[in-house]
Amino acid sequence: MINLEGLTISKVKKAFDSKEYTPSDLVAAYLAVIESTDTDVQAFREVFSDEIVSEAKKADLAYAQGTAKVLTGIPIAVKDNILLSGHIAGASSKMLEHFVAPYDATAITKLKEEGALFIGRTNMDEFAMGSSTENSAYGPTKNPIDRSRVPGGSSGGSAAAVAMNAALVSLGTDTGGSVRQPAAFCGIVGLKPTYGAISRNGLIAMGSSLDQLGTLSRSVSDAEILFNIVKGTDGMDSTSSYPTEKPETKKNLTIGVPRNLFEGLTADVLENLEKSITKFKELGYEVQDIELPNLKYALATYYVIMPAEVSSNLARFDGVKYGFHHEGKDLLEDYLKTRREGFGKEVRRRIMLGTYVLSAGYYDAFYGKAQAARDLIRTDYQRAFELVDIVLTPTTPTPAFKLGEKTNDPLTMYLEDVFTVPANIAGNPAISIPSGFIEKEGTKLPLGIQLVSQNYREDILFRAGKSFLNE
């Protein structure tokens, strides 16, 4: 039996190289976990069992012949809103229940070129809207650490898959925290790169100026390996770009802590953050207080800009072009019935909100204002990065909450995103790394800290993250 606990890409490659086990053995071990655990956890919408078993055999051969590449034989789970040619990409919505991806997302193409195997598609909040995976049209995913709790969202299935050892690493998308927050809730690493660092070609859009593909993994090193493969300018996404020259590396890094944002945090979350700060100091980092005065507007800004973009992006799902269709007596009734039944409650709520903030007479008061606030938030970060290399906060204000605890109160659900949305609004890269546990009702629940750096300085996040986790 392979011990799946604590595996990383480099450990697995060593085991493949030394013939301790083969890619087929590893895949069989992950499939066995899914078989025994996923009927309850529900991390996956679909498991590609037959396909991955036959692909793993090719990986066995590549190792035997010495032609293995960086990800040969590495099983990856993929969020249900990332296009994998020939498979359903459903965004966990009734609207796209039968939608088969006609091509691969650019990131998937790059991973395939390095030999990656795909184990299945993971459950998510419908169209990536949510913080708990409870907005999936197919029911929630449970947190593998405490199954009475949520795994976070919207990439909850991808986080649970890694946390329960059903895949080595997984892909998610992050529009306002959807990779970092579930990573924190499940005790793993979640990376949201700089806006545009990875092509969005082949991702089902939520908020196009905020969306970014991200990775979930046990280690920072794995996030780094995946990121270096998928990053880069892509002709299929005009917003994608990544500088080719290497940035200069400083000897010592400085961390800024924006304490003005921590009002209202519970003592245990604050204590965990203080411990993390102490650890960084012991590792030789200089830590100082900084001010990010406009970040207090980030959540309000996000919940105007994001729904505006959602309302526009989701206009294409009209029952005519593709996806779910409900026949009405005329074209208008087709639209109304299709969209009423194809979309869940939260998606409809955001479409309505977005349509409202963009409508004549309200545009200036809401959308225009939010864009102005967005500039201020960007400037706050720019100023901060003149003083420090990293901005440190908790990833989330709380550990994983109970299933059903916030479903009837969207506003408290939105508060979950308070620390994660600023990096999407400004575009900066951010990573969540596990920072220990707090005990609730006899269970140790993981917490995460978030590091944010200057654009295209993922290298700083990797360096600090690896030193913090002693990798």
Tell me, yes or no, if 154 is annotated catalytic. Answer: yes
Among 92, 175, 215, 217, binds ligand GLN (CB under 6 A): 175
Q: Which of residues 417 and 458 has its CB atom nearest to ligand GLN in the complex?
A: 417
Alpha helices, DSSP H only, in 49-165?
49-65, 106-113, 156-163
In the complex, least distance from residue 425 CB atom to ligand GLN, rounded to whole angstroms: 12
Q: Which two tokens stand for residue 447?
A: 């917490």
Which residue in the list 93, 154, 217, 432 is annotated as catalytic? Answer: 154
- The catalytically annotated residue of 158, 178, 199, 311 is 178
| Closest CB to ligand GLN among residues 128, 169 | 128
Among 136, 154, 219, 294, binds ligand GLN (CB under 6 A): 154
Out of 78, 159, 206, 220, which residue is the one contacting ligand GLN (CB under 6 A)? 206
Residue 58: how many CB atoms within 10 A of its CB?
Answer: 14
| Binders in 288-327 for ligand GLN, by CB under 6 A | 306
Beta partners for residue 146, in sequence order = 143
Asked if 130 contacts 172 with a C-beta cutoff of 8 angstroms, the reply is no
Active-site residue flag, 142: no
131 part of the interface to ligand GLN, by CB under 6 A: yes
129 binds ligand GLN (CB under 6 A): yes
SS3 53: helix
State the residue number with the nearest CB to ligand GLN.
Answer: 178
Judged by CB under 6 A, the stretch of 98-106, 124-132, 197-205, 264-272 that binds ligand GLN is 124-132
Any idea what DSSP says for residue 31? Answer: H
Q: How far is CA 169 from CA 39, 83, 288, 304, in A?
A: 20, 17, 34, 32
Which residues on neighbouring strands pair with residue 170, listed in sequence order?
77, 216
Six-digit token string for 64: 């035997």
The binder of ligand GLN chosen from 106, 178, 311, 453 (CB under 6 A)? 178
Stretch that binds ligand GLN, among 63-71, 127-135, 380-388, 392-400 (CB under 6 A): 127-135
417 interacts with ligand GLN by CB under 6 A: yes
As a whole number of angstroms, the distance between CA 301 and CA 295 comes to 10
Q: Is residue 402 annotated as a catalytic residue, yes or no?
A: no
Is the torsion defined by CA of 127, 129, 133, 134 positive or negative?
Answer: negative
* Contact assessment for residue 42 and residue 161, using Cβ atoms and an 8 Å cutoff: no
- Distance between CA atoms of residues 102 and 30, nearest Å: 27
Q: Is 276 in the site for ligand GLN (CB under 6 A)?
A: no
Question: What are the residues binding ligand GLN (CB under 6 A)?
Answer: 128-131, 154, 174-178, 206, 306, 417
Positions annotated as catalytic residues are: 79, 154, 178
